[in-house]
Chains A and B, each alone.
Chain A
Amino acid sequence: MEAATATVRPAAGRGLAIRIGRRLLHHSLNVYAALALVYLLLPIAIILLFSFNDPRGRFNFVWHGFTLDAWKHPFAVEGLGDAMRTSLEIAALSTIGATILGTLMALALVRYQFRGRAPTNFFIFLPLASPEIVLGASLLSMFLNLGVALGFGTILIAHIMFNVSFVVVTVRSRLIGFDRSVEEAAQDLGANSVQTFLRVTLPLIFPAVLAAGLLAFALSIDDFVITNFNNGSTITFPLFIWGAARVAVPPQINVIAAMIFLVTVFAMILTVWQQRRAEKLASVRPEPEPVA
């Protein structure tokens, strides 16, 4: 690209103008991309900033002054702590459930050729292609018709349902390059299939499972639409915000959001680090051909 620019060399003045023009074009794309990033990140900066706001009145929309009050008493708002606890419980349980169900399915789909594979793939893709409001509304229709009491249990059921497909997709994409000869080696050395799975397969696919679990946890703790249809009187953190949005938005909501944000970023960086380490460990194995 640079070479193409350098070959154009007419008289000094015009050449310079053209070069500046090209430069501008080259940089304008970078500037455009930078502005897009600002658009993505500005709201996060605002959320973090307004967790230090000292709002007059019930809504935390206008800056009035700096205070640490909300950070010192994050659960001072009635109901916020309970909502957060419910969210964490549902996120943890639905992550465990969806990760187990989804990982088993991903293993079946990647490693075995069987009748009905293509329709199964399509069926797993369907929940991902349905708008959340339809998933939530249809589950509610079933619970209403069967007379199931809405609450913690129905939220958990819904969260496992929408998370399973995400786990399958995540684990499957990482399993595709999986080297099966190590498993064959384990079985040749006398390990039975359970031992092979627990001591060879599972440690190798663990980074993928961890990434899927992290995604499931994040999706669960963030879900509003589907939960909103199936919660009964149980309140999760997003539902608490929804209720608050019409009545009063205290800065504590920003504090909790900031905490979740920081913990997730930390977990994310940890996963990436763990994956790099796993890749490094894997690369210690002698390569079949010398690295050039």
Chain B
Amino acid sequence: MEAVQRRKGLLPYLLLAPGLGWLLVFFAIPLGYMAYESLKAGTIDTGFSFSWEFSNYTHAISTYKEQFVRSFEYAGLATLLSLVIGYPLAYVIAFRGGKWRNALLLAVILPFFVTYLIRTLSWETILDDESWVVDTLKAAGLVSNDGRVLDTTASVVAGITYNFLPFMILPLYASLERIDHRLLEAAYDLYGKRRAVFTRVTLPLSMPGVVAGVLLTFIPAAGDFVNATLLGTPRQAMIGNVIQSRFQVIADYPSAAALSFILMGLILVLVLAWARFAGTESLMGSEPR
């Protein structure tokens, strides 16, 4: 009897062991190696050696302050745009979708079925100098006649917004869809005006979706370098571009590792601040039943 009890007690750990082991060895320990790498000194020719080189961090911040600021500006802007574009769409699907709901949801995630890089390249086609979209914008006077859309801040932010928009819409939809319609009816019965019902009932109830959507959009957006590379120029370079080129082109591993850590730290600080501001329940999975 006791043996059975003990086996039951061990079972969850046995089930967890292989997966946790994998994450420990290939997620947690690599972070330690990156910390170690970030404190090395040297050059690619002489080799790098560990020497508690904290100046890598201060140097990284002072040299690439501009790219850091730009990354967070672009990511913030793209997150805001995703919310503005995504919320009404999620709302319409959840409350007016009817029998088309599932089909509409499928349409929202269709972009994920096309390779990320090709989606981004597709924007290069759409915003090309000779494309009809740019011609239309020029005819409407929104873009000057010799102006360009591609290779500007606008094209990079539009690309980032596009690529991460479904990450915003899905949690928004999930929280809107869960709202008990009787609550809305009660609000109307109590003579709530439409605007009041929305701002005081629907919107607060959908906040978990907003919180999750903002995180899911902002985190990948802040580290992105694909959009800035394909749809922008070095003038739109984000911190991801710097990390990528220092790792792979210049082979200055310590500074690249330091930059990665600073990026992760900044994102973590923002995420924790946001979680504190908005409540943490929606971040960590649900409790057992």
Contacts and interface: CB of A to CB of B under 8 A. Distances in A.
B264 A134 contact: yes
Interface string A56-76: 000011100000000000000
B194 to A, nearest CB: 7
| Residue among B33, B121, B220 facing the most chain A CB atoms (10 A cut-off) | B121
A249 B115 CA distance: 14
Contacts of A228: 244, 248
A226 to B, nearest CB: 11
Nearest to A157: B26
Interface stretch (B62-70, B103-111, B137-145): B103-111
B124 interface: yes
A101 to B, nearest CB: 4
B125 A241 contact: no
Contacts of B13: 108, 114
B279 interface: no
B52 interface: no
Interface string B55-96: 000000000000000000000000000000110110111001
Given A137-B247, A164-B23, A218-B112, A39 B30 contact: no
Interface string A118-158: 10111111110111111101111110111000000000011
| Residue among A137, A140, A238, A249 facing the most chain B CB atoms (10 A cut-off) | A137
Contacts of B206: none
Interface residues of B, number: 86
A286 interface: no
Contacts of A135: 27
A30 interface: yes
Given A104-B19, A122-B284, A46 B122 contact: yes
B1 interface: no
A133 B240 CA distance: 7
Nearest to B119: A43
A212 interface: no
A225 B226 contact: yes
| Residue among A41, A62, A141 facing the most chain B CB atoms (10 A cut-off) | A141
Given A161-B23, A237-B115, 16 more contacts: A36-B89, A43-B122, A46-B122, A47-B119, A104-B15, A105-B16, A113-B288, A137-B257, A139-B26, A139-B30, A142-B34, A160-B26, A224-B115, A228-B248, A241-B115, A253-B121
Interface of A: 1, 4, 29-30, 32-33, 36-37, 39-44, 46-47, 50, 60-62, 100-102, 104-105, 107-114, 117-118, 120-127, 129-135, 137-142, 144-146, 157-158, 160-161, 164-165, 168-169, 172-173, 176, 218, 221-222, 224-225, 228-229, 237-238, 241-242, 245, 249, 253-254, 257, 260-261, 264-265, 268, 272
21 contacts: A29-B88, A33-B88, A36-B88, A44-B111, A104-B19, A105-B15, A107-B15, A112-B11, A125-B285, A133-B240, A134-B223, A134-B260, A134-B264, A137-B260, A138-B27, A142-B34, A146-B33, A228-B244, A229-B247, A245-B230, A261-B113
